[in-house]
Amino acid sequence: MADTVHVIDVPSSAEGRILRVLMNADQDEAVGFLVQPAVTAGARSEQRFAAQEPHLEEPSRWRQQMVQRIAEQLDAQRYGVKALYVIGSTKNATAGPASDIDLLVHVDGTPEQRNALAEWLDGWSRALAEMNYLRTGYRPQQLLDVRFVTDEDIAAKRDDFAAKIGAVTDPAREVKLRVSS
């Protein structure tokens, strides 16, 4: 069968590491990698092992780091951005390998600035989706889910997203933008 991969004698060639295979049935793809075993606490008479991935960070933390990178690179004046917020599973540190990154972008620029910003963020989204695939084996088309909100949206709380800015429960978390020089 052309789609079959044979792995021969993993224990002798893996030097004590564990073969971990991540499968994505939706994409009909899989990725395998070797990880160091680690003993976990809680077993009395038997040892239980969990795969440790020293070079793969936990999905929520990685997504939060990527949001920070976007904020550091974003030229707020050029694109008419007043603030950047993260919401959802990335903000709540519950994101998994298939989770997207939900961003709220408070804008006051021109339509041209907003279009340019949307294109810039689309580039980030596609690049992050590819990075996510290389890290986890899950390949989304895009990784960013971006919502633009204006002063009017926030004041009128026109939708659930604008209402998250300054909300009492589950508020959006503002991400510090770089200071333009």
Structural contact between residues 98 and 140, judged by C-beta atoms closer than 8 angstroms: yes
Residue whose C-alpha is closest to residue 153's, from 145, 164, 139? 164
Q: What is the pLDDT of residue 26?
A: 63
Domains delineated in the chain = 10-52 (no CATH), 59-175 (3.30.460)
Mean model confidence pLDDT for the chain: 82
Place of tokens 């709220």: 104
Q: What are phi and psi of 152, to 5 degrees?
A: -65, -40
Burial label, 35 (beta-carbon count in 10 A; 0-12, 13-18, 19+): middle
Instruction: Tell me the average pLDDT across 2-22.
Output: 68
Tell me the pTM: 0.68
